[in-house]
Every structure is written in C-alpha cells, then in structure tokens.
Homo-oligomer: A and B are copies of this chain.
Amino acid sequence: MLTVVTFAMLALSVDTVNMSKPAASARAGYHHGNLREALVDAALALARTGGPDAVVLRAVSREAGVSHNAAYRHFADHQDLLGLVSERCMDELAALMNRHIARVRTRNPVERAWARLSATGRAYIDFARSEPGWFRTAFSAAHPSPTEEAEPVEGPYGILAARLDELVEVGALPASRRPNAEYAAWSMVHGLSSLLVEGPLGAIPEPEVARAVDTVLAVVRRGL
C-alpha cells in the first residue's frame, strides 16, 4: 500500500521535472491528461489478479493515484467501467486466439483447417489458465449477444465461426454438419476452461490437464 503511493508520487515528480507537456498516460499536475485510459488500465491490472470482483471503483482510483470519485468524470458508474473492462478482456482473448491461429504451419488444406480449429481451442484454454482473472472478467458482464453483434468477426465467437466455415470450404466438414457446430466447439472448450479455472478440476496435476485438453479437442474433431 505505502509502496504503491510512493511509486505514484515518484512518477509524478519525474514527469513534472523532465517534461514540458503531459504524456499520454502520465500524470502531469492537477489535470491528469488521460485519466480514462489510466483508470481502465488500473482496472485491468486489478481484474488480472482478482477477477471481476476486484474491479472496485475505489480501488481502481486508488491504483490510478486519483481521488475515489474522479472516475465519475469518465464513467457513468461502476457498471459502466466494469463492462468496458470486460470487453477489453474479451479483446485480449480474441487476440490470443488469432496469434495461436497465425502460428499454424500445416500445408495440407484439410489438416490445416483442423489445426487452426484446434489452435483456437487451445488458445481459449490457455487464456483461461494463464489469465484466470481476465477470463472470469470477460464472462462476468453481459455483452451484446454474440450472434447479433455488430462486428461479430472481431470477437472470439466470430473467430470460431470463421474456423468452422473454413472447415466446410476445404471439404473437411460436410455442410450438413455445419449448423450449430459453434455450440459444440465453444461449449467444449469453455466447459473445460471453467472446470479447470474456477471449478472442481482446479487441482488436478499438469500432465492430467494436458491429457484432458487433448481428449477434449479430439472429441470435438471426431464429433463434428
């Protein structure tokens, strides 16, 4: 607690001395410069450690080095901030999925399409396990329903749908199997993630986790 305060004050004086105009995200005096982003960043840091329940208005302001009601200049209320943070966590998940997908090197089109689907699933589970706080935060608030979102291709749901379309295009999946396939793939990886991260499978040893992931992905592939 004290350490945090000291750090914030140090940063403040450095800014004031060394820079003539305020940096995008640093404090430069009475006015912050970019408090909105700073608050979101602080909230993300808290969510990362403690999940959605850690995104507490007063704690966020504290972390940003600002009085506990300053946030009301930038967000309507607590919900408003939490919703935004939750969306950011979703974006983070989508980004990791894309990174995993881009890393697939398989050449054979059919195998490639399957590998890209698996990469998507692995990314999902990886995200949940390496960033449990963000994972829980991503799913803590109600976003616009994925099926009727404005830009569905951006989010995790859109990425998954694109992988399934891809499978049909290369002939790896009969078109008759395409409808509702999202539900199966998504449920599978989401279920395993939840059971591992916040459920009764949280305590199983690492090799067992690896087996579970492999089995789950294999069953999805075979089942589709």
Contacts and interface: CB of A to CB of B under 8 A. Distances in A.
User: For the side of the interface on A, what is the size category?
Assistant: 35 or more
Interface stretch (A67-75, A106-114, A198-206): A198-206
Contact of A200 (B146, B218, B224): B146
B184 A219 contact: yes
Interface stretch (A27-35, A94-102, A164-172, A209-217): A209-217
Nearest to A155: B200
Contacts of A191: 186-194
A199 B139 contact: yes
A85 to B, nearest CB: 16
Counting chain B CB atoms within 10 Å of each CB, the highest count among A192, A200, A204, A222 belongs to A200
A180 interface: yes
Interface in A122-155: 139, 142-143, 145-147
Nearest to A193: B191
Contacts of A142: 200, 202-203
Contacts of A7: none
A189 B170 CA distance: 29
A118 to B, nearest CB: 14
Contacts of A146: 200-201
Interface string A59-96: 00000000000000000000000000000000000000
A219 to B, nearest CB: 3
Given A139-B199, A184-B216, A190-B194, 20 more contacts: A142-B202, A145-B200, A145-B203, A146-B201, A179-B215, A183-B192, A183-B201, A183-B212, A184-B215, A184-B219, A187-B191, A187-B192, A187-B216, A190-B191, A194-B194, A218-B223, A219-B220, A219-B223, A222-B223, A223-B223
